Amino acid sequence: MKLVIGCDHGAVELKDSVKKVLAEFEDIKVEDVGTFDGNSVDYPDIAEKVCGKVASGEADRGIVLCGTGLGISIAANKVKGIRAALCHDVFSARMSREHNDANVLAMGGRVIGFGPAGEIVRVWVTTDFSHEERHQRRIDKMMALENK
Ligand code: RB5
């Protein structure tokens, strides 16, 4: 799996921690699009960089991080083809994959600790979409909203 990750200045340390967790998985190739220090950047720019690669198929999945996870997840969901899930618990992370086929995970560096975030990431990258008809139907309806 090719995974692209990015953050604003509110989650640089969380990004570094998440990358260590992702390094546990030999089959995951990670591309980091920044930011890399505490200088202020605008989270929509990071969301666009990450989600552009997911939407185009250059990457299979993305992880976006900001201070709360709110701004960057809202921005991510403006990119056509993106289903970004803001998850600060393992149950939501699992459901976002099984039921919503989320292709982007969002978290907040000022909200969650490295340990819980690592567990969320492990579950999110290893959980498959259920492919159940009712979930696929809802996803199809959700994505059709992009064209209305
Ligand atoms: C940046 O200070 C902060 O607004 C951002 O990281 C995020 O929390 C926005 O939703």
Q: In this structure, are residues 100 and 3 in contact, taking their beta carbons and an 8 Å threshold?
A: no
**Closest to 46 in 3D by CA, of 15, 100, 7:** 7
Query: How far is the C-alpha of 107 from the C-alpha of 88, rounded, in Å?
Result: 6
Q: Tell the residue nearest (CA) to atom 9 of ligand 1.
A: 71
Pocket around ligand 1 at a 6 A CB cut-off: 8, 10, 43, 66-68, 70-71
Write down the pLDDT at residue 91: 98
138 is in an annotated binding site: yes
**Residue 131 in tokens:** 């492919």
Cα 71 to ligand 1 centre (Å): 6
pLDDT digit string, tens, across residues 8-48: 999 999 999 999 999 999 999 999 999 999 999 999 999 99
Identify the three-state secondary structure at position 98. Answer: helix
In this prediction the pTM is 0.98
Write down the pLDDT at residue 62: 99
Helices (H), the chain: 12-22, 43-56, 70-76, 90-98, 114-126, 133-144
**Residue 124 in tokens:** 């999110």
122 is in an annotated binding site: no
Strands 61-66, 84-86: pairing kind: unpaired
CATH number at residue 130: 3.40.1400.10
Q: Tell the residue nearest (CA) to atom 6 of ligand 1.
A: 67
Structural domains counted in the chain? 1
In this structure, what are the phi and psi dihedrals at residue 34, rounded to the nearest 5 degrees?
Answer: 90, -175
HSE of 12, CA atoms in CB hemisphere, 13 A: 9
99 counts as catalytic: yes
**Range(s) of the domain holding residue 34:** 2-147
pLDDT digit string, tens, across residues 47-73: 999 999 999 999 999 999 999 999 999
Cα 138 to ligand 1 centre (Å): 30
Pocket test of ligand 1: the residue of 8, 13, 70 to mutate, having most ligand atoms within 8 Å of its CB, is 8
The average confidence (pLDDT) of the chain is 98
Write down the pLDDT at residue 39: 98
Query: How far is the C-alpha of 83 from the C-alpha of 14, rounded, in Å?
Result: 21
Write down the pLDDT at residue 111: 98
pLDDT digit string, tens, across residues 103-131: 999 999 999 999 999 999 999 999 999 99
